[in-house]
Structure 1
Amino acid sequence: MPGALPGEEIVAEATKVHPKFAEAKIKKIRKQSEHRIKPLCPVYDQCGGCQLQHLRYDQQLNEKRDIVIQALERHTKLKIDELEIRPTIGMENPWGYRNKSQFQVGEKDGKVLAGLYGLNSHNLINIEQCAVQHPATSKATEVVKGILQDLKIPIYNEKKHKGLVRTIVARTGVQTGELQIVLITTKKELPKKDIIIQEIKKRLPKVNSIVQNINGEKTSVIFGNDTATLEGSDFIQETLGDLQFELSARTFFQLNPEQTVKLYNEAKSAAMLTGKEKLVDAYCGVGTIGLWMADQAGEVRGMDVIPESIEDAKKNAEKHGVKHARFYMGKAEELLPKWLKEGWRPDVIVVDPPRTGCDEEFLKTVLKIKPKTFVYVSCNPSTLAKDIMTLGSQYKVEYIQPVDMFPHTSQIESVTRLVLK
């Protein structure tokens, strides 16, 4: 029931009845929660980007811990009252934290709009000031929107599958102040390209990377396969703690750098490293977690199935002089047994899988290899709970630490320390 809060008494109308649950909308709030507040954002109820702006932030942290508990109750047989589920780590200032925006572009009455599609619809909600976006990305999107308007550049119409510019992506290095603009277009030919570049540079002096990505498909996927740098560098730099990363247009990078540092520190402390351990960073991406822990590990091996990520991970290790970290292209469930045959067994495995959770074959491999410690960084409590069930035959949950990476949304990350029984 969107918009309702725990403990409230409401009159609701069922909108959709599923076999195991029903969806409903609020008609009237009879008794409202003491934690209910007025949302900060004017289009909060339309855009669907945030789900919890009407709940006081300290209470959001309590309810997010409860989301983790509910997932464990639903998908595991663990005794919840015997588990250590710690209070959620939040932000001091939970606004303006997102370092990247991907706003769809549209046109209405001759005016260029940029924003997100409304809740369960394809109505474009124009967003001029997003409360959770970093101010630099909001300003950049507004400026680029104005340039497209002034130069009368054709805007993509999704229904007719005609037009040119479909998305404006803006990303800022929160620590470095660098700015990258990506224009996603349906075709390579961009009219008035030189003037667009000139205007962006003039109106946004901090821009040091202007990129075009071509996506001509009828799809809701944002990026296409062809990317070309129009001006400046191919990437922007960002800093996390003592580590520096190069972010190209399509590189995955955490959207909330301030909380990422807290999340990675929690993962590091859950690994309880002494400087001697062999550490595996599965699903390593550009090597962030493995490199974050490298100063306390004897040897780090990371793996991923995306070749560009492995190239970036190798470059990042070299740049930071981390000689005892190696990164491999491939699946953990294939590489780990091979290393075991060669006589190499990890003491600690750390994972940060996608929302779908860990691959089943990978978990079976972990149960065969039996590292002493397994650190699970999760962005989805339901798949975390299911994976804990799979590992439960041999691993005990020592504690779970929720971390709020996305204030005002219903998403919650967590770090779980599992030890061999």
Structure 2
Amino acid sequence: MKENGGKRTRGNDNKCAVGNVRGGRAANGGNSARAQRQRGANALRANRGERPQSQLQAGGGLPACSVARQCGACQHVNEPYQRQLAAKNQRVAKLFSQVAGPEALRPILGMDNPYCYRNKVMSPFAPGRPQKAPKQQRGQRGGKRPSRPSAPQRDILCGMYAAGTHRIIDTSECLIENAQAKQVIRAVRSIMLKFGIEPYDEDRGTGFMRHAVVRVGHTSGEVLVTLVTNAREFPGAKGFCRELVRRCPFITTVVQNINERQTNVVLGQREQVLYGPGFILDELCGLSFRISSQSFYQVNSVQTEVLYRQAIKLANFTGAEHAIDAYCGTGTIGLVAASMGAAQVTGVDCVESSIRDARQNARHNGVDNAQFVVGDAGAFMRDMAAEAAAAGRAGVDENSRPLVLLMDPPRAGSSEEFLRAAVQLAPSRIVYISCNPETQVRDLAFLRQFGFEVRVVQPVDMFPHTDHIETIALIERA
């Protein structure tokens, strides 16, 4: 599933690296050996997906979510996980019965620990109830003048939107979000109150702090904090960052993103680095990827690796194939394919910033058998098919390498132009990854009209406790 604004702690993997010191951590205090060990232990617990004792039901039963009904994001969070997986298996079997026989269906791949899996946490801020002013405020006689108002007029709401609304459910913890990221969100809210920073009022278009977006490296443990503001000028920014890093010393970098539009879109186009390098690094399938505030990166690290390894296994590369990575994003699966058996990879995506990231990721990993181009995937495939037809080629590239098509379209699925071009190119295999099985089934039905057969359907539970299912389909010429 793709998310706007940016395409992971490992659930219970003991290999997680914690306590990264990049970005001048030693100057922030609290760096005794004992403090570092404690922070490392806390980070490791968070990265393993362990929940606070307060969220466990009596007797060690299922973790309990106190706001499940109000929030609505996790439709099945209070159901046993195995029951969720069984229901998803049934749903996939019913959907794909239109295009595949029962022998093609494989059981869904679930998680060992389906909690705290979201490596990206996004929290809006909004005015809460009126707040009483303290009797003695900093900035009065004998005190220092603050760089901002001494306190907001109201409390600050932060958390998540109730399903289908822009009403904020004020939450401090979440069963599916990374625990370290939630700690950062709570710290940002607290510092806003301390510094007198007003939250954004969506109805009036006033206030300063709109969102905080926190991304946690799956294996690196690095943490990127993006503060989305309603203005470029950020008085007291250095002090704010200093306090935030003091409270959360595991933070690697802080970025200010400026969004002055009255819009529902979270991120703006302009930003500036307030602390650290402005990006984090993370590892996926043995490759290192650079993640910035705008990068697309899958939010469930554990299952993304499962998904990609399954896709590469189904592609069955022998070292001779040319893989077309359509809708490639930042090149994650294409680069994995290039390092796991494909002779050549060509990725295409219409988002220019994603292609820049893909090229940078290729250079960073020393992958020289992958190229990435900006363009509409349908138009790219059409042109490639026309060139192959003019040369009298089918199923191979200009160097007689067998073609394999990797495709991971958005929820709307692929276009007819794209699918017709795929039929004309006649690749030996198509590996179709989808975050929307309904549109995937529609596209597979189209391909079946032209002699392709669905050999394998592999569901992966990328988003436990929700209705969402990710599916991989292997399609071959009959």
Larger of the two Rg values belongs to structure? 2
Kindly indicate whether residue 160 of structure 2 is the aligned counterpart of residue 116 of structure 1.
yes
Kindly indicate whether residue 116 of structure 2 is the aligned counterpart of residue 71 of structure 1.
no
- Partners of 2:416 and 2:246 in 1: how far apart? 52
Contact 1:100 1:170 in 2 (8 A): yes
Q: Secondary structure at the match of 2:291?
A: strand
**Which residue number in structure 1 is paired with residue 127 of structure 2?**
107
**Which residue number in structure 2 is paired with residue 25 of structure 1?**
none
Q: Which amino acid aligns with 2:208?
A: L
1:23-102 aligned at under 5 Å gives the runs 40-72=64-96, 77-78=98-99, 82-102=102-122
Contact 2:238 2:274 in 1 (8 A): no
- Partners of 2:73 and 2:214 in 1: how far apart? 17
Aligned-pair distance for 1:275?
0.9
Kindly indicate whether residue 206 of structure 2 is the aligned counterpart of residue 186 of structure 1.
no
Q: Secondary structure at the match of 1:212?
A: strand
- Partners of 2:353 and 2:183 in 1: how far apart? 30
Q: Secondary structure at the match of 1:216?
A: coil
Pick aligned residue for 1:359 from 415, 420, 426: 415
Figure out how many residues of one structure are paired with residues of the other and give that number.
381
Contact 1:83 1:397 in 2 (8 A): no
Question: What TM-score, normalized by structure 2, do the two folds share?
Answer: 0.77
Q: Which amino acid aligns with 1:371?
A: P
Kindly indicate whether residue 431 of structure 2 is the aligned counterpart of residue 411 of structure 1.
no
Q: Deviations over 1:46-105 (max 9, x none)?
A: 1122111132101111111222233335xxx43x65452111100000001100111111
Q: Secondary structure at the match of 1:213?
A: strand
**Which residue number in structure 2 is paired with residue 30 of structure 1?**
none
- Partners of 1:281 and 1:88 in 2: how far apart? 24
Contact 1:376 1:415 in 2 (8 A): yes
Structure 1: state its 5+ residue gaps.
Answer: 1-36
1:95-244 aligned at under 5 Å gives the runs 95-109=115-129, 110-244=154-288
Contact 2:432 2:473 in 1 (8 A): yes
- Partners of 1:339 and 1:38 in 2: how far apart? 52
- Partners of 1:192 and 1:324 in 2: how far apart? 47
Contact 1:240 1:261 in 2 (8 A): yes
Q: Which amino acid aligns with 1:134?
A: N
Contact 1:211 1:230 in 2 (8 A): yes
Q: Which amino acid aligns with 1:304?
A: D
Decide which moves more: 121-130 or 376-385. Answer: 121-130
* Relative contact order higher in (CA < 8 Å, ≥ 6 apart): 2
**Which residue number in structure 1 is paired with residue 361 of structure 2?**
316
Aligned-pair distance for 1:165?
0.8
Question: What TM-score, normalized by structure 1, do the two folds share?
Answer: 0.87
Structure 2: state its 5+ residue gaps.
Answer: 1-60, 130-153, 392-396
- Partners of 2:443 and 2:315 in 1: how far apart? 18
Q: Compare the two structures and name the one with the higher strand fraction.
A: 1
**Which residue number in structure 1 is paired with residue 49 of structure 2?**
none
Q: Secondary structure at the match of 1:361?
A: helix
Q: Which amino acid aligns with 2:345?
A: V
Structure 1 pair 309–120 and aligned structure 2 pair: CA distance change class (3 A):
closer
- Partners of 1:268 and 1:121 in 2: how far apart? 39
Contact 1:67 1:381 in 2 (8 A): no
